[in-house]
Amino acid sequence: RKEVEQDPGPFNVPEGATVAFNCTYSNSASQSFFWYRQDCRKEPKLLMSVYSSGNEDGRFTAQLNRASQYISLLIRDSKLSDSATYLCVVTAYGGSQGNLIFGKGTKLSVKP
Amino acid sequence: GAVVSQHPSRVICKSGTSVKIECRSLDFQATTMFWYRQFPKQSLMLMATSNEGSKATYEQGVEKDKFLINHASLTLSTLTVTSAHPEDSSFYICSARTGGSYNSPLHFGNGTRLTVT
């Protein structure tokens, strides 16, 4: 089983749609969780951290289910500018400096 | 604004030559920086952890003699790809934490796209 698994997509949605991405991770000892977005041929940029109680940042809502080792990201009212690849990221267990393990990403394409 | 700066953003070199990539932390000191590599349609893979004032820690399968890392100051780490080959063509990205906790997120440089001909 891969350490971090995501549906690669692509998710093609119209503007204004609500879209949800899921992610599962294999290591139950992982401590921290993040969603990054990566635009084509660019570096990843932090979108939001994911907290146990769930958290929201504007149109974005992240959820964590430790028992199921599952993370989700919900985007409401999609904008054209949301088109990107969304990376699910967890801290690596045992890494001396808390290395991050990246999923392959889920590609989102928002159409007019 | 950017907190980690990486240079160059793009480089094309001939097979057999060496390429140096610089990663700088802006307005903060980074005792540790991370070097990742990303091949097309693949996830970011950690290559090595760069430690200021000491040797880098390499991930399994990454040749330390081929990918030389120097972290001589608290704001600068360099990655040198020695005797580059076409299979080394990839997107190389450095990162660092501004927070002290190892659970805090990483901030990435803008990446270096290396093409070896």
- At A2, is the secondary structure helix, strand, or coil? coil
Instruction: Report CB contact under 8 Å: B43, A104.
Output: yes
Contacts of B89 in chain A (CB under 8 A): none
HEC string of chain B?
A: CCCEEEECCEEEECCCCCEEEEEEECCCCCCEEEEEEECCCCCCEEEEEEECCCCCEECCCCCCCCEEEEEEECCEEEEEECCCCHHHCEEEEEEECCCCCCCCCCEECCCEEEEEC
Give residue-wise pLDDT tens across range A56-65.
Answer: 999 999 999 9
Between residues 11 and 50 of chain B, which touch chain A (CB distance below 8 Å)? 32, 34, 41-46, 49
Give residue-wise pLDDT tens across range B60-116.
Answer: 999 999 999 999 888 999 999 999 999 999 999 999 887 666 667 788 999 999 999
Give residue-wise pLDDT tens across range A2-52.
Answer: 789 999 889 999 999 999 999 999 988 888 899 999 998 899 999 999 988
Contacts of B97 in chain A (CB under 8 A): 98
Average pLDDT, rounded, for chain B: 91
Pick from A32, A43, A98: which is nearest to B93 by CB? A43
CA distances from B18 to A88, A105, B66 (A): 33, 31, 9
**The residue to which tokens 């990539």 are assigned:** B21
Between residues 46 and 65 of chain B, which touch chain A (CB distance below 8 Å)? 46, 49, 57
Cα(A40)–Cα(B113) distance, integer angstroms = 12
DSSP label at residue A92 = P
